[in-house]
Amino acid sequence: MERYQIILAYDGTHFQGFQRQGRQRTVQAEVENALRHLGWQGRAILFAGRTDSGVHASGQVIACDLEWAHSPETLGRALNAHLPDDVAVKAVMLAAPGFHPRFDARARCYHYRLYCQPHRDPLRDRYAWRVWPAPQLDRLAMAAALLVGRHDFAAFGSPTRPGGSTVRHVLAAEWQAQADEFHFEVWANAFLYRMVRRMTWVQVTLAQGLIEPERLSAALHNQAALPAGLAAPQGLTLVKVLYDGQEEAGHTLSASE
């Protein structure tokens, strides 16, 4: 019996989120069903993060224990043969017996994509949030800079367990403009429930001139209230989860960080 670390990609459009929920279609349920075809007898896979309904992933990390007589690469191909078209295994590797994709993670990266047009674009609406009027890039950059650092993000999400801390450390946050699109990349040691969608909505609202930077700063330092709102789920993608010794976001992450 070996523990395997598996990196998944999925299109979240037709899933009710990642985590198993009764008889609803979820990514976890599809992956566990594929594993059972290969002799897996576990109760539940382990995973790095729970993504909402409609949210995508290109770097979700899961782990499971499995009796498998072949290579990790062969396991990946076998799983893909049993997975639906909107879920795929990108990589498989052996992991330490006690590896946990959530609790051993040192940082996570999300991307958010939006486009600016007065009318819908069916070719982009599945993977991006349409925003109009267009936000100002300099104000987006200013808002992102305020988010970086260790703050109490209670105004931006709820803890992943009852009574849990709402303090998180945002390692990097940056916006880039590409034609009529804006792409947001954010790294943190961990995220609150719906934190990235909330952060994105607040930044866009600020960049449209509807709220002032002082309100964002007050929310971070004094947990002052902000207007209610969430960015659409389809613009969000879980891109990467990092573990000890992996380098990203400008530095090497270690257990002390």
Query: Are 34 and 119 in a shared domain?
Result: no
76: CATH: 3.30.70.580
pLDDT score recorded for residue 160: 81
Alpha-carbon distance of 84 to 86, in angstroms, equals: 6
Is residue 252, in this structure, part of any structural domain at all? no
Domain range for residue 62?
2-95
pLDDT score recorded for residue 70: 97
pLDDT score recorded for residue 55: 98
pLDDT score recorded for residue 246: 72
Question: Which among 221, 172, 182 is positioned nearest to 204, based on CA atoms?
Answer: 182
pLDDT score recorded for residue 256: 35
Query: Could you tell me the CA-to-CA distances from 3 to 32, 92, 97, 126 in Å, in that order?
Result: 15, 10, 6, 35
Query: Are 85 and 125 in a shared domain?
Result: no
Give the active site residue among 11, 52, 104, 125: 52
Query: Are 77 and 113 in a shared domain?
Result: no
Structure tokens at 108: 């996570």
Q: What is the pTM of this model?
A: 0.93
Is residue 8, in this structure, part of any structural domain at all? yes
Beta pairing partners, 112 = 184, 236
Known active-site residue 52? yes
Q: Are 164 and 102 in contact (CB under 8 A)?
A: no
Vertex 142: Cα angle to 139 and 143 (nearest 5): 90
pLDDT score recorded for residue 247: 64
**What is the tally of structural domains in the chain?**
2
pLDDT score recorded for residue 248: 60
Close Cβ partners of 257 (under 8 Å, ≥ 6 residues apart): 106, 107, 189
Query: Are 238 and 201 in a shared domain?
Result: yes
Vertex 29: Cα angle to 59 and 4 (nearest 5): 50
Give the mean pLDDT per block of 10 residues along the chain (257 residues). 97 97 96 98 96 97 97 98 98 97 97 98 97 98 98 93 92 97 98 97 98 95 91 98 75 41
